[in-house]
């Protein structure tokens, strides 16, 4: 919420971008949902939470590396594509792994879903914070990229800075949804595997 407020106050022109209202509404709704899940976890700690948070943090780091490679790092095109694709694959695998690993360890569906949920939540929060902060701190570098200049020229943005800030807010909001979906996918896969695993002896 703080990042949205700072971005809005410093760059009010982002509200003139197409779809800005939808992006901000989605972001607020998702972040409130994330906060509710976090408060619930604090009050009801469960077996899958730590696994989810650990793998989610790893996934968040991989997503952040991918964003850096495609932004202020200004790598050669071939290196940017190769590293970016590699980090995306690692991020997806790490997010999904949490639910599957929790299922293998506990042989119960509940911890698998919990781990998957919190893997998505952790990675989503990390990516959102990193992407927005990185963009706000490296606007001159990002504005010097020829691909961003071309995208801005085709956009209806009132200025380059507004375009970059609005673009990262939209991309980060999408990650709040995508990362959560990937985490729940891993939780679902883990829950399915528990049906084929023998339950631990009591």
Running along the chain, 202 residues long, what does each successive block of 10 average in pLDDT?
Answer: 80 86 90 88 80 95 95 92 95 96 90 93 94 94 93 89 93 94 94 71 46
pLDDT of amino acid 196: 66
Residues 111, 49: contact at Cβ < 8 Å?
A: no
- End-to-end, the C-alpha distance of the chain in Å comes to 46
pLDDT confidence of residue 197: 54
Q: What is the pLDDT of residue 189?
A: 94
User: What's residue 198's pLDDT?
Assistant: 57
pLDDT, position 202: 43
Token pair 């619930």: residue: 40
Nearest C-alpha neighbor of 183 from the set 106, 93, 109, 63 = 93
**CB half-sphere exposure, 190, CA atoms < 13 A:** 33
pLDDT at residue number 176: 94
Domain boundaries, the chain: 18-194
What pLDDT does 60 receive? 96
For residue 41, the model assigns a pLDDT of: 78
> Where would I find the beta strands (DSSP E) of 20-83?
none
Give the burial string for 133-167 (b: 16+ CB within 10 Å, else e). Answer: ebbbebbeebeebeebeeebeeeebeebbbbbbbb
């Amino acid at each position: 919420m703080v990042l949205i407020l700072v971005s809005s106050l410093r760059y009010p022109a982002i509200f003139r971008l197409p779809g800005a209202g939808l992006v901000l509404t989605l972001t607020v709704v998702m972040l409130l949902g994330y906060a509710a899940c976090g408060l619930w976890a604090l009050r009801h700690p469960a077996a899958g939470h730590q696994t989810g948070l650990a793998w989610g943090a790893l996934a968040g780091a991989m997503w952040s590396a991918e964003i850096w490679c495609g932004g202020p790092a200004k790598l050669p095109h071939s290196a940017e594509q190769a590293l970016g694709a590699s980090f995306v694959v690692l991020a997806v695998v790490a997010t999904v792994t949490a639910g599957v690993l929790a299922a293998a360890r506990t042989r119960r569906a509940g911890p698998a879903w919990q781990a998957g949920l919190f893997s998505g939540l952790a990675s989503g929060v990390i990516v959102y914070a990193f992407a927005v902060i990185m963009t706000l701190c490296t606007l001159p570098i990002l504005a010097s990229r020829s691909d961003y200049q071309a995208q801005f020229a085709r956009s209806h943005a009132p200025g380059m800075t507004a375009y970059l800030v609005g673009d990262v807010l939209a991309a980060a909001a999408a990650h709040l949804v995508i990362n959560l979906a990937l985490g729940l996918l891993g939780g679902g896969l883990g829950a399915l595997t528990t049906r084929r695993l023998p339950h631990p002896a009591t």
